[in-house]
Amino acid sequence: MSIPLLSSRWLVGREDASISPTTNQNHRTSTVCTAPHMAPLTSVLSERQKDELHRALLDYLSSSGLHSTFEALKAELPAQHDFQPDPKAKWAGLLEKKWTSVIRLQKKIMDLERENSLLKDELAAAGSVTSSRKGQQDDWLPGRGGGARHTLTGHRSPITALAFHPTFSSLASASEDCTVKVWDYETGEFEVTLKGHTKVVCDVDYNSKGTFLVSCSSDLTIKLWDCSNNYRCTKTLYDHDHSVSSSRFLPGDTHIVSASRDQTIKIWEVATSFCVKTLRGHTEWVRGVWPWTHGKLLVSASNDQTARIWDLTTGESKMELRGHEHVVEIAVFTPQVANAAIREMAGIPAPTTQDSKSKEPDPVFVATGSRDKTIRIWDCSSGQCLKTLVGHDNWIRGLVFHPNGRHLLSCSDDKTIRAWEIRTGRCVKVVDAHDHFVTSMAWGRAAAGGGPPTTNADHSPDSPNVLAPPVQRRVAVLASGSVDQSIKIWLP
């Protein structure tokens, strides 16, 4: 084996270069290249590395029988005049090893470049598919294309509430079996059971970052669970005098709001675990409470057959929504994306551009569901019922707005999930979801940007500018829970 000291390709076209064969004393022919005069190149090797390279070259020439070349190179390297081949030295065979490594790495690089090229082609092809899928998911409704993707079983009593993690593919479920369970909704796998409550767990909710989970129970307590520490319970809040039926993080995550059978709504400071405000106005059990995304307002539902809109700044009830003929199970503010469809349904003119930019947006409409089997859409400013949706055959237990703003989904004790076209108020889809009452429902969410929401300096709910909302997007996944003790995951 012989290796030219200079590439013959480099010498092509140079008049001052020549290539000639020579024969050494062992009658082996080697190639001697006479290089032209070149300006010295700046070496990137240290003196120690140069010494090892020279020794490796000399060792290779000696072991290859190229003795004349060996002697010539040795004479050119004064520091190596005493060099003697040593098969046990660390430089013995080093040149061959390096050469083999270079060839192997070059092959890996070529393989990676080829793989990279294929991946680029796949990404380019997937781009067009993603665009078409996005269009399909924007209008996706559960039940289209078949049944539920997963059925999650493990609870020993009816499901009472569901909450999606804002970042990961985790779903928390609350149950009458006194536990909270966490699942991976994409795979359908069970993850962990949270034990601590001693009676029915009534509600669960993640904060906007997904770092904490809050739960509440008929044992009169509210518990905070640290998601980053294997869901360890870090705080237990006491102050209600009866079952705590609902608990939610307020935007900004520094406060929690809760509703109770003791007819009150309470605001809690997470850092201190103190109740900082109590809202009174309902005359019977408060079934649930839901904050407006900008945090200044709450809406609550009660056994007194009303829903109320509350001002967090003053703690006063701003509006009473009365019209249902039975217990109001749920009340939710409509997202801004649905306002145009509701205005069209009710024949309300759209606001002018100047009006819409003149102040921070406030909630415009509220949707409520009741045991009177109806859903009502209300005007927040006047308290007027704009539309009544009729179709369910039993109590309404849950409401969620579709991310496209064109549909409202409801679940009921009639074992179905219904999809309503908001613009017309017409039921466009009925899904036979469970074998028993459908008690709860949640639409997936995922954080889409930026750090925590902006709050006032002291993080108090008393400021008129309480808490700007986190930026979030909705993902196409729906979860439903039932008295049949199962949870179903609906995906496109």
| pLDDT tens-place string over residues 342-390 | 999 999 988 876 555 545 466 789 999 999 999 999 999 999 999 999 9
Q: From edge to edge, which strands make up the β-sheet containing 416-421?
A: 396-401, 407-412, 416-421, 426-432
Q: What is the full DSSP assignment across 459-481? A: --TTSTT--PPPEEEEEEEEEEE
Helix axes 67-76, 47-63, angle to 10 degrees: 160
More confident residue, 387 or 41: 387
The confidence score (pLDDT) of residue 137 equals 64
Specify the range with the lowest mean pLDDT, choosing from 42-46, 65-69, 254-258, 327-331.
Answer: 42-46
Contact 229, 212 (CB under 8 A): no
| Mean pLDDT of the 91-100 span | 78
What is the pLDDT at residue 475? 78
Helix (H) or strand (E) segment spanning residue 129:
helix 94-138
DSSP-assigned states of every residue in 338-353: GHHHHHHHHTPPPPPH
pTM: 0.70
Q: Is residue 141 helix, strand or coil?
A: coil
Give me the chain's average pLDDT, please.
84
* 380, burial (CB in 10 Å: exposed 0-12, middle 13-18, buried 19+): buried
β-pairing verdict for 328-333 and 316-322: unpaired
Bigger pLDDT: 163 vs 136: 163
Q: Which two tokens stand for residue 379?
A: 């005007």
Answer with the residue of higher pLDDT: 258 or 445: 258
Q: Is the dihedral of CA 335, 340, 346, 349 positive or negative?
A: positive
CB 410 within 8 A of CB 399: yes
**Residues of the chain with pLDDT > 90: what percent?**
60
In this predicted structure, the answer to whether residue 196 has a pLDDT above a threshold of 60 is yes
pLDDT, tens only, 103-116: 888 888 988 888 88
Question: Domains along the chain?
Answer: 8-92 (1.20.960), 148-490 (2.130.10.10)
Residue 131 has pLDDT above 50, yes or no: no
Specify the range with the lowest mean pLDDT, choosing from 133-137, 187-191, 248-252.
Answer: 133-137
pLDDT band (50, 70, 90) for residue 157: very high
Over residues 413-469, the pLDDT tens digits come to 999 999 999 999 999 999 999 999 999 999 997 543 333 333 333 334 444 344 444
CA angle 134, 389, 142 (to 5 degrees): 30
Residues 6+ apart with CB under 8 A from 88: none
Reduced to 3 states (helix: H, G, I; strand: E, B; else coil), residue 9 is helix
Q: What is the pLDDT of residue 167?
A: 93
Residue 490 φ then ψ, to 5°: -110, 120
For residue 209, give the nearest of 174, 163, 248, 253 by alpha carbon: 253
More confident residue, 69 or 238: 238
| 3-class secondary-structure state, position 240 | coil
User: What pLDDT, on a 0 to 100 scale, did the predictor assign at position 463?
Assistant: 43
